[in-house]
């Protein structure tokens, strides 16, 4: 049996376990388990937490063939209480959502009652069997696959997405891309799927892979298209029109660090081009392609890639290949030495009640630190006292970014306090907090 066919089969036992666990969470505190912000969020707080994800999804709508919004149909996998469906409904004439939890679906129907073209459905078997083939323009899913313990269920959803999408339709989904662990996955800490597995699935199924962002992180985003891309303009002569740093418009890129990525503006790309069959070579070494943009009216498309490690600084040659063959004439890129790592405190909040910010109500604190080149030396102090039970977790290897969680020491507070994050003896950041 073909591997892609084998993955279609859903695990009934896993579906029942997911349904039971998520029904329990919905009854306990649906807003908290969906948005992680705080216990007992108000409706306004809950829906406000969707802004970042909605903005990202709206950017992907540019990939759809230009049509009136009222003629488009969308489907959300794992809709929960309708947090994303509510704002996304304005972009479609019809929007549907499915969820394994009937408790979540009941809440979604209440929240969407004023939107006649929004429909939430209970999917007890964790599938899309209720929908006809080739019936949706856009599918999306956020913070759902990362809670599914079964690989068969996740790949079953991906296979079904191909079936229900219209030709040239788009799937935008978030997957846990962290390296596999030896632990048994459950309905909170779900299965992990690598970028290579996503690439392999797309090749098997015929999806065009357009983006893989946040590789090796818990929040890896993938954008897939069913079949080839539409084009505005007539095919042009293959050519790299411009090459810059992917983070800005500078015609140079550092050889390592958080800004070691490039953007190519390419004309003449074939309709079937994607980041799976396009290869970027920099100085003879293979870069990691991660994003292919939609065609502009003049036919240009943006292709982003992370630079390979170990490159020397100086002028180097960049070559683009399509299906293993040279696509166009190579271009020159200036590589510059990487600047020194600058450890910095990106954010600090209550470890459980994220919406309370620096008012620490749970007794735990979460700090996010970027560019810590000696993460094993990271530690925290509260009013000069070492924090308790520190737990360090690498959330993004490329920046790099780490999350340090720790407990407030006994006897501290209540009242104002000062939290210091240190790397050895070096002060990384200092934040005033209020201990409840």
Model pLDDT for residues 186-203, shown as the tens digit of each residue: 999 999 999 999 999 999
CA distances (Å), 401 to each of 179, 225, 374, in order?
15, 30, 12
pLDDT band at 1 (very low <50, low <70, confident <90, very high): very low
Q: Decide: 213 and 154 in contact? Cβ < 8 Å.
A: no
pLDDT band at 234 (very low <50, low <70, confident <90, very high): low
120 has pLDDT over 70: yes
> In 112-193, where does DSSP find H-type helix?
151-164
Mean pLDDT of 96-118: 98
Q: Which residue has the higher pLDDT, 296 or 78?
A: 78
Distance of alpha carbon 105 from alpha carbon 49, whole angstroms: 19
Q: SS3 for 154? A: helix
CA distances (Å), 140 to each of 56, 84, 226, 392, in order?
11, 10, 13, 31
Q: Decide: 97 and 120 in contact? Cβ < 8 Å.
A: yes
Q: Please, what is the end-to-end C-alpha distance for the chain in angstroms? A: 59
Distance of alpha carbon 275 from alpha carbon 291, whole angstroms: 7
Residue 330: CB partners within 8 Å, gap ≥ 6? Answer: 240, 317, 318, 319, 320
231 has pLDDT over 80: no
Residue 259: CB partners within 8 Å, gap ≥ 6? Answer: 245, 246, 247, 253
Mean pLDDT of 150-156: 95
Q: Which residue has the higher pLDDT, 419 or 179?
A: 419
Q: For a pLDDT cut of 90, what percent of the chain falls above it?
A: 84
Q: Average pLDDT over the chain, rounded to whole? A: 93
pLDDT in tens, 378-416: 999 999 999 999 999 999 998 899 999 999 999 887 999
Mean pLDDT of 5-25: 72
pLDDT score at 6: 30
Q: Decide: 372 and 413 in contact? Cβ < 8 Å.
A: no
pLDDT score at 172: 98
Q: Decide: 402 and 395 in contact? Cβ < 8 Å.
A: yes
Q: How many beta carbons lie within 10 A of that of residue 426, not counting itself?
A: 11
Distance of alpha carbon 149 from alpha carbon 16, whole angstroms: 12
The full set of domains in the chain, from first to last, is: 3-226 (3.40.50.150), 239-336 (2.60.40.10), 344-435 (2.60.40)
**Stretch among 227-241, 276-290, 293-307, 343-357 having the lowest mean pLDDT:** 227-241
Q: Is the peptide bond before 400 cis (omega within 30 degrees of 0)?
A: yes
Q: Decide: 160 and 197 in contact? Cβ < 8 Å.
A: no
Strand extents, DSSP E, 105-257: 118-122, 136-141, 165-175, 207-213, 220-226, 239-245, 252-254
Token pair 């004309």 is at which residue? 267
pLDDT in tens, 55-90: 999 999 999 988 899 999 999 999 999 999 999 999
> 143 is written with which tokens?
């913070």
265 has pLDDT over 60: yes
* DSSP state for residue 197 in the 8-state scheme: H
| Closest alpha carbon to 428 in 363, 377, 391 | 377
> 321 is written with which tokens?
């290949």
Q: SS3 for 370? A: strand
pLDDT band at 228 (very low <50, low <70, confident <90, very high): confident
Mean pLDDT of 167-173: 97
Question: In whole angstroms, what separates CA 208 from the centre of its chain?
Answer: 18
pLDDT score at 233: 63
Q: Decide: 190 and 148 in contact? Cβ < 8 Å.
A: yes
pTM to 2 decimal places:
0.91
């Amino acid at each position: 049996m073909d591997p892609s066919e084998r993955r279609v089969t859903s695990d009934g036992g896993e579906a029942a376990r997911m349904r039971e666990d998520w029904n329990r969470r919905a009854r306990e505190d649906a807003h908290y388990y969906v948005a992680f912000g705080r216990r007992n969020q108000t409706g306004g707080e809950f829906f406000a937490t969707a802004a970042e994800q909605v903005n990202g999804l709206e950017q992907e709508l540019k990939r759809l063939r230009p049509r009136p919004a009222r003629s488009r149909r969308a489907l959300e996998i794992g809709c929960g209480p309708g947090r994303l469906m509510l704002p996304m409904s304005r972009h479609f004439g019809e929007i549907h959502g499915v969820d394994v939890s009937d408790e979540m679906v009941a809440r979604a129907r209440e929240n969407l009652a004023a939107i006649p073209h929004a429909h939430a459905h209970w999917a007890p078997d964790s599938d899309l069997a209720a929908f006809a083939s080739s019936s949706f323009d856009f599918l999306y899913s956020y913070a759902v696959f990362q809670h599914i313990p079964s690989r068969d269920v996740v790949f079953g959803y991906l296979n079904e997405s191909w079936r229900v999408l219209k030709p040239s339709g788009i799937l935008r989904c978030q997957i846990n891309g962290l390296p596999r662990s030896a632990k048994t996955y459950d309905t909170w800490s779900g299965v992990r799927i690598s970028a290579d597995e996503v690439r392999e699935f797309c090749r098997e199924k015929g999806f065009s892979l357009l983006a893989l962002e946040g590789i090796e992180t818990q929040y890896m985003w993938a954008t897939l298209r069913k079949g080839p891309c539409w084009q505005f303009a007539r095919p042009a002569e293959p050519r790299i029109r411009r090459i810059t740093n992917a983070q800005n418009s500078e015609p140079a890129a550092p050889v390592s660090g958080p800004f070691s990525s490039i953007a190519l503006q390419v004309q003449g790309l074939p309709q079937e081009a994607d980041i799976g069959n396009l290869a970027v070579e920099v100085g003879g070494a293979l870069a990691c392609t991660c994003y292919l943009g939609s065609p502009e009216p003049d036919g240009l498309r943006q292709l982003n890639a992370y630079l390979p490690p170990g490159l020397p600084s100086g002028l180097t040659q960049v070559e683009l290949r399509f299906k293993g063959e040279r696509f166009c004439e190579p271009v020159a890129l200036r590589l510059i030495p990487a600047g020194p790592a600058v450890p910095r405190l990106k954010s600090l909040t209550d470890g459980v009640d994220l919406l309370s910010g620096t008012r620490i109500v749970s007794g735990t604190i979460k700090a996010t630190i970027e560019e810590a080149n000696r993460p094993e030396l990271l530690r925290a102090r509260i009013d000069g006292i070492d924090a308790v039970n520190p737990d360090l977790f690498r959330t993004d290897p490329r920046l790099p970014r780490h999350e340090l969680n720790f407990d407030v020491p006994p006897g501290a507070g209540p009242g104002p306090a000062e939290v210091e994050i240190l790397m050895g003896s070096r002060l990384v950041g200092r934040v005033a907090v209020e201990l409840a």
